[in-house]
A and B are shown apart, each in its own frame.
Chain A
């Protein structure tokens, strides 16, 4: 796996969220109160108080019966609006997907990757688009046809209307995804070549923390850069003291797995899976891949026991069992047998594994997710449905955003607004991060435009005059706006769990699933509130 997001810090996120919500709420209340006061004097203020009380009463008098009725209405409406036509598109997609992605040359592992990624991505986008269209036209159509008049003149709260619209569409989306996910799973099983079925699995990794020793053995936090554009992996030099060292917490004998060795015998071992990259500075022996060595360290008593010398399987990875009993090799301890858990696991329960490259002059590239303890795998369906849950959450978020947008603008605009929001959030996040990181020279939008037009070098200082001040000020404002946008946009990357599934990993709960749930809820709540406020403060006349 070539990505491993950080563990999500829930309490911090929730705290920040509450703060933003509170600040937002207070400022909205304040602004509306002041404008009511200015607009209508004391009377305006008292009316403002009344409507505040009414809003609160709307919030507390939510009835499940009414919500159910409205949600069901939404659901029926969507179905009778032929939302299920999407199944036809889906079916066509599946019928012809083979044409696009199957490639008889593909190696099994790559076939799995390509198929799974294709399915999950197309499912997620297909559902997103359908649900976007549905959720954005629901309320505006209801207003345009004035059927909403017969609803709001019943005791149905506008809050309930917004909420139930969302619930109804979520129901539709759930139905769509439910059917499509099961079909997809079957399709994947059938479409993936026989030889690759074993790659349809859900690895259960235990990740460690990585650190490096440089060629003379001093501790560093990164290895050598061999000139890759991608700075994901860093390298250690072969046949030196260079090491990459992983520390795994809480290693217990329960982590032992039954592995089948090359000779076919089964035995208990600690499974380590690695995916290192080789970099040759000279051709070396081309008959084989570079060699690396696992060395188990016990920091308590400085014990070092080499566990195995193996060949790198670049870009494919390899799984090896470290047996429980390891033999010492140095002059002092040769013939001595060490027990992995009794002698090598440190007192604090951690296991330290060092990786060395044994080919002189060659380099081995490694990053944190490149080595992990592989517990017995879970079934592929588990990670697949977790990823499906991710898509479901994405759909929920889409619906929430779409319904909210549709409470204040007409359908087509709502679609545009929501779509832009989602697209920008999905594609431009990295770019915005870069823009905001201040790593780029040449200034902001206007400053760099000025530099381009005047052929000015990006390190030359701008002349000190009011024009420069103005440009800098405008850029500063724009940057502030960009910052705001970036803060408001949800981090959609949590929802895309295809990377785990495609690489045969179980979706990580704390790194992807939980954040996705939290983010969804975090947006759902303000969305419902904003939607309610917008629907409440507008006349339900078609304009």
Chain B
């Protein structure tokens, strides 16, 4: 090999290096310099808001960890998932949680990981524990875990919605909800929280559904800028209003009657019809027009130009109302905010209590008045009968209660009592309702000091 040959070769190598550098520079050059125009990737990143600082809070730890791992993040995450699975199977919860934390540090913007892990903690892990307090602790773990994700992914609506699910649905609807809802306001870890709530999830000691509502509202706010990937949009946006229904229903279930509950239903009604009901959606069925749930005939004709469009819009409103169960909830809230309905609930509940305390005459009077009020209200809102609902179960409970009382006082039930229609049509649900009532009465007799 002579010298000029080797020099030539070196020049060729140099040429190749430069050639390879050009696309890297064009693609990868960062923006923000004084003179330079940003590279393709950089402008795309800002266009699609993919920069770390666009997505949310930058976590120095995860940034550092990703640096240290160079390009091996994928491998590391993979092996961490394997150990999460292992820890989960061998019920090593502490290690499982801390490994999940490590994964999330490596992939802070991987939304499904946040969703999966928080669900895992709040639903699966919590169910593994025997004591309700421990279960609640893990529900909280899931909720707190998710809060981190919400901060780190400051624009993502899904996670905020998911948080609302845990706080609203998991705490409010699970088997242990009676305890969970109580613990939510006064944490069982008395040593740490002095009988108050865990401030990380409930700073102001509110009802879980009201806290959930705040999360849903946050999700809705974010949803205006970034698409959510969970539900149909009309459904997704209904959740803040739904939380109000849940709240009001939960109050009833807890035996809180009277003005507080009635006002809750009233709030729910107004939220549903004036806020959610007036929200404008663009739906694929009729992209030309604006659609909202609470659309009157005038509204519809104001939105369309042709008869065909009018037909399609009407159908769309109808369909979407069905999807979100719009009309039922409107009727239900309207009915429940009526003082007469509030009275009915209160009377039936008090009758149960009176029965439990063996005050039979009082119980009988209460239940009969309650049944009458109930029946009147149902006559006013006959549509409510068409839906399988807790309301009907309440009606069944009332009749059942009435029969118990009559039986104990030796009377025979008459045949023309107010809620007979329901009793006859809903016989299939009777065993469930009866079991629940019996259990309630049993528990009531066990701890009589309970409200």
Contact = CB atoms under 8 A, between A and B. Distances in A.
Interface of A: 2, 96, 99-101, 103, 105-107, 109-110, 113-114, 117-118, 229-230, 232, 277-278, 280, 283, 286-290, 312-316
Contacts of A113: 94-95
B90 A114 contact: no
B82 to A, nearest CB: 10
Interface in B195-209: 200
A105 B94 CA distance: 11
A110 B93 contact: yes
Given A103-B98, A107-B137, A114-B98, A290 B130 contact: yes
Contacts, number: 64
A229 B129 contact: no
By size class, the interface of chain B is 20 to 34
Contact of A280 (B97, B130, B140, B144): B130
A100 B91 contact: no
A99 B63 CA distance: 12
19 contacts: A96-B64, A100-B61, A100-B105, A103-B97, A107-B94, A110-B94, A113-B95, A114-B94, A114-B98, A117-B95, A229-B89, A230-B89, A278-B130, A283-B175, A286-B132, A286-B179, A289-B130, A290-B130, A314-B130
Interface string B92-121: 111101100110010000000000000000
B394 interface: no
Interface of B: 61, 64, 89-95, 97-98, 101-102, 105, 128-132, 134, 137, 140-141, 144, 175-176, 179, 200
B442 to A, nearest CB: 11
A191 to B, nearest CB: 14
Contact of B131 (A2, A118, A230, A313): A313
B21 to A, nearest CB: 29
Contacts of A288: 131
B129 A101 contact: no
B147 to A, nearest CB: 11
A500 to B, nearest CB: 14
Contacts of B98: 101, 103, 114, 118
Given A100-B105, A232-B90, A288-B131, 19 more contacts: A99-B61, A100-B101, A101-B101, A103-B97, A105-B141, A105-B200, A107-B137, A109-B94, A110-B93, A113-B94, A114-B94, A118-B98, A229-B89, A278-B130, A280-B130, A289-B130, A314-B131, A315-B91, A316-B134
A312 B92 contact: no
Contacts of A117: 95
A287 B105 CA distance: 37
Interface of B is mostly: helix
Contacts of B132: 286-287
Nearest to A288: B131
Nearest to B90: A230
A407 to B, nearest CB: 31
Nearest to A112: B94
Contacts of B95: 113-114, 117
A113 B96 CA distance: 11
Contacts of B175: 283, 286
Contact of A105 (B64, B93, B130, B140): B140
Contacts of A103: 97-98, 101
A2 B134 contact: no
A360 B73 CA distance: 50
Nearest to B102: A100
A230 B101 contact: no
A100 B61 CA distance: 7
Contacts of B102: 100
B127 to A, nearest CB: 10
Contacts of A278: 130
Contacts of B94: 106-107, 109-110, 113-114
B198 to A, nearest CB: 9
A110 to B, nearest CB: 3
A421 to B, nearest CB: 19
A2 B129 CA distance: 16
A87 B176 CA distance: 50
A448 to B, nearest CB: 21
A289 B61 contact: no
A117 B101 CA distance: 15
A5 B149 CA distance: 39
Nearest to B127: A280
Contacts of A107: 94, 137
A280 B156 CA distance: 38
A490 to B, nearest CB: 21
Contacts of B89: 229-230
A19 B233 CA distance: 73
Contacts of B91: 2, 230, 277, 315
Nearest to A233: B91
A315 B61 contact: no
